[in-house]
Amino acid sequence: MLEAAARVIARHGVRGLRVEELAAEAGVSTALIYYHFKNRQGILRATLDFINDRAERYTTDRVADASSLDARGELEQTLLLEFQDSPEVRENSTAWGELRASAVFEPELRKDLARATLVWVQDVAELLGKLHPVAGAGALAQAAERLTALVEGLSTRWLSGSLPLAHARTLMKEAIDAELVRLGNQR
Amino acid sequence: MLEAAARVIARHGVRGLRVEELAAEAGVSTALIYYHFKNRQGILRATLDFINDRAERYTTDRVADASSLDARGELEQTLLLEFQDSPEVRENSTAWGELRASAVFEPELRKDLARATLVWVQDVAELLGKLHPVAGAGALAQAAERLTALVEGLSTRWLSGSLPLAHARTLMKEAIDAELVRLGNQR
DNA sequence: GTCTATATCAGGATAGAC
DNA sequence: GTCTATCCTGATATAGAC
């Protein structure tokens, strides 16, 4: 059911979600949807939670894999995670982009979003810190903010058809280079 | 009338545009709106054209001003243009973000969007070329793609309340630094 | 060109049976 | 828990007078 919701949102966006379509996708009646979730808003909340969990799950898997990688590889893998053409990742990226875009008009969403963003930024800052232990916390945080914001920017370009996936990956890798060089120079 | 439409879209987004609200904002009846534009879609088309024209207009003004600036200043001004808290800029940034986000679900929008993006990227690449005449065209284009994508990413974070305006400007300036350092190192 | 209705419709939500 | 049927609201769009 939540998988179905994620699929429908990935297809038409948060604001294009039709309860009826979701019901069809899940193979149940609309009434049942309302039995499980209080209302449209509830569907959205639950689905976004689900998507977050799923993202965390594959982030965790990633970290498990990464035991064999060096810090640089780990950093790249974290940031390139969103640039894969699997349905799951596409759904998550799409939903995240929608959440971000919706928050421009729906202040209620902002708090959760800001919190999730902060966690992500700190995660990346920490990885950067492993590569440049002597860099200041401020410089690390700023580099992490730029890199994660770039992920969002490139991701939306990719999903909106302005940028091929492979090219997005290249650009991202080189941005990481540029930031590491910069952190190095400040030493 | 189109100004009113731009305001309403900035408030509720493309997908939140209500013809009735637009009518109220413009101080006329809904019927009159439909008299001028065929339908909702027509309103959207006309408004987005209007917004594009306006953006071009203030970009041109910027270039006129910039005669006194060095290439570095011109580059900064171009990229920081979107980070100002004036209603006009906010409206344009919001509309652009909406357009980008909508294109994820509406393939018809993609072509125009890709074209506009390309023009922007080339503009920035050219400015970068002035600062690093010996850098390869490929390296310049990639730096421009990263910088413009970062503008979009930071802009959405700003508009969605995850990032204070001043901080966005700082991050952007330093990203420019990082890219210039990188271009320099490749010489 | 502009207004006051009003038709029409889509989609969210619920009642009540099973 | 799940369905069928239906209500109700809000929004697009049009008719027809001025």
Interface of A with B in 33-72 (CB under 8 A): none
CA nearest B102 in A: which residue?
Answer: A160
pLDDT grade for A112, boundaries at 50, 70 and 90: confident
Structural contact between residues A62 and A81, judged by C-beta atoms closer than 8 angstroms? yes
| Residue whose structure tokens are 């990226």 | A93
- Kindly report, residue by residue over B14-36, the tens digit of the pLDDT: 889 999 999 999 999 999 999 99
Query: Which CATH number does B69-185 carry?
Result: 1.10.357.10
| Average pLDDT of the segment spanning A30-51 | 93
Residue A53: partners with Cβ closer than 8 Å, 6 or more residues away = none
Optimal mutation site among A156, A173, A186, A187, interface B, most CBs of chain B within 10 A: A156
Helix B40-65, helix B71-80: angle, nearest 10: 160
Query: Which CATH number does A2-185 carry?
Result: 1.10.357.10
pLDDT grade for A187, boundaries at 50, 70 and 90: very low
CA nearest A96 in B: which residue?
Answer: B101
Please give, chain by chain, protein residues whose CB is below 7 Å from any atom of strand D: A 27-32, 35; B 17-20, 30-31, 34, 39-41
pLDDT at B15: 87
Which residue ranges in chain B fall short of pLDDT 70?
63, 66, 185-187
Distance from the A113 Cα atom to the nearest Cα atom in chain B, whole angstroms: 7
Q: Check whether A171 has a pLDDT greater than 50.
A: yes
Chain A residue numbers touching B185 (CB-CB < 8 A): 181
Report how far residue A71's alpha carbon sits from residue B60's, in angstroms, rounded to the nearest whole number. Answer: 45
Q: Looking at B13-109, list the stretches that DSSP marks H as alpha helix, in order from N- to C-terminal side.
A: 19-26, 30-36, 40-65, 71-80, 87-103
Terminal Cα-to-Cα distance of chain B (whole angstroms): 52
Written as one letter, the residue type at A139 is A
Domain residue limits, chain B: 69-185
Tokens, residue B29 = 């009846």
pLDDT grade for A175, boundaries at 50, 70 and 90: very high
**Residue A56, burial from CB neighbour count under 10 angstroms (0-12, 13-18, 19+):** exposed
